[in-house]
Amino acid sequence: MPPVLALIGKPNCGKTTLIEKLIPALAHKGVRIGTIKHHHGEIQMDTPGKDTWRHKQAGAKAVLLSSSTGIGFIQDDTADRPVEDLVNRYFQNVDLVIAEGYKWSTLPKIEVFKSTLYDQPLQDPGETLIAMVSDVRTRPDLPWFLPEDIDELVVFILEKTQKR
């Protein structure tokens, strides 16, 4: 199983934006990245009226879209699967998985925080919080990166996730 790193934080703090910057920076270092977005609502991947949407609306329990540019898959499930199960099942050809969410998991976590939106970061994100990315330093006990410190953050992530 490839290593998994979770980016956590309150809504609109920049988790997705940070992931969008980390992916090409890590890829430039030769790291194949997979991502998982933890979502609490109903999953909608297709455009209403399109074929795969119509298949799902007709009652298909699993729908796979395949083309020369990629594969998309959606399947009914009755549980919120542990991230480790998802990684083992779907991420065999990557070197690192970045998960957005899973703040209560035991995964190593980096919290993204924006002081212009919130007074303080998450309360008790767990013992596996390894760093903060924020516009201000909130946790002197942890490594801290500004949101624009992508190169330094990539070095830190590789040090924490590469097998030794």
Which residue in this structure is represented by tokens 């099942």? Answer: 89
Tens-place pLDDT, residues 133-142: 999 999 999 9
Confidence bin at 164 (pLDDT 50/70/90):
very low
CA dist., res. 114 & res. 14, Å (int): 8
**Does residue 61 carry a pLDDT above 60?**
yes
- Residue 6: helix, strand or coil by DSSP? strand
Give the type of residue at 79. Answer: A
pLDDT average, residue stretch 104-125: 94
* Residue 130, pLDDT score: 97
Confidence bin at 59 (pLDDT 50/70/90):
confident
Beta strands 70-75 and 62-67 are: antiparallel
- Delineate the domains of the chain, giving CATH numbers in brackets: 4-39+79-161 (3.40.50.300)
CA dist., res. 116 & res. 13, Å (int): 9
Query: pTM, whole model, 2 decimals?
Result: 0.86
Please give the full DSSP string across 68-92, using - where no structure is assigned.
TTEEEEEE--SS---HHHHHHHH-T
* Residue 42, pLDDT score: 63
